[in-house]
């Protein structure tokens, strides 16, 4: 899931375009508006909504849904990991650091 703090312009990929309603508190009659799994989209805005179980929805530049509603942020993942996660993944493990200081 993408963060509710995701800035506009961020590239995301849809990981779930099923219409089973598992991300929403209320049934949405308007369909998914052409949302496709594995397709890359650009975040237009993140907003609070009571309709999504996560409490947040995302609007996309590439497609608009009937009624101006977006999709639950749970349906998306980042195309590129945020730099803070990349830094954490590339960090030297604590055990190796301790051994380096033992010499």
Q: What is the pLDDT of residue 26?
A: 65
Return d(Cα 33, Cα 35) in angstroms, integer. 6
- Top mean pLDDT of 1-5, 27-31, 82-86 is at 1-5
Q: Which residue has the higher pLDDT, 98 or 73?
A: 73
Return d(Cα 15, Cα 74) in angstroms, integer. 9
Q: What is the pTM of this model?
A: 0.73
Residue 5 in this model has a pLDDT that exceeds 60: yes
Q: What is the pLDDT of residue 54?
A: 92
CB-count exposure of residue 17 (10 Å: 0-12, 13-18, 19+)? middle
């Amino acid at each position: 899931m993408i963060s509710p703090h995701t800035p506009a312009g961020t590239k995301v990929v849809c990981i779930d375009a099923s219409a089973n309603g598992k991300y929403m508190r209320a049934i949405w009659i308007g369909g998914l508006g052409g949302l496709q799994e594995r397709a890359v989209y650009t975040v237009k805005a993140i907003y609070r909504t009571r309709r999504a179980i996560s409490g947040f929805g995302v609007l996309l530049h590439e497609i608009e849904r009937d009624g101006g509603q977006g999709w639950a942020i749970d349906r998306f993942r980042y195309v590129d990991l945020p730099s803070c996660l990349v830094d954490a993944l590339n960090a030297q493990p604590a055990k190796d650091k301790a051994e380096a200081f033992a010499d």
